[in-house]
Amino acid sequence: MNIEKLKDLEAEFFDTYPNGFDDEKLVKLMKKFSPEKLETFAKESFAKENFSDPHFIVEAYFKTIQKSFMVSLFDKLKLRDIFKELTSYEKDMFSIELYELLHGNKKNGFEGLVEFLAEFRMAKWTLVTLVPYCMNRQREYFVKPTTTKDIIKYLEIPDLIYKPRPSYEFYKAYSKVLNSTKSKVDKQLSYDNAAFTGFLRMSILICNEQ
Mean pLDDT of 51-69: 96
Closest CA to 16 of 35, 29, 34: 29
What average pLDDT score do residues 46-69 get?
96
**For residue range 78-97, what is the model confidence (pLDDT) as tens digits?**
999 999 999 999 999 999 99
Give the pLDDT score at 20: 83
What pLDDT was estimated at residue 164?
95
Sign of CA dihedral 140, 188, 180, 145: positive
pLDDT level of residue 209 (50, 70, 90 thresholds): confident
Chain segment 3-12, per-residue pLDDT in tens = 999 999 999 9
- Write the pLDDT tens digit of every residue in 15-34: 988 888 888 878 777 767 77
Residue 149 CB neighbours (<10 A):
11
* Structure confidence at residue 78 (pLDDT): 96
- What pLDDT, in 10s, does the model give residues 120-136? 999 999 999 999 999 99
Mean pLDDT of 32-53: 92
Alpha helices (H) in the chain, listed in sequence order: 3-16, 24-33, 35-45, 54-67, 73-84, 88-103, 106-118, 125-135, 145-154, 168-182, 193-209
pLDDT in tens, 92-101: 999 999 999 9
Give 151-202 pLDDT, tens digit per residue. Answer: 999 999 998 999 999 999 999 999 999 999 999 999 888 889 998 999 999 8
The predicted structure's pLDDT at residue 210: 62
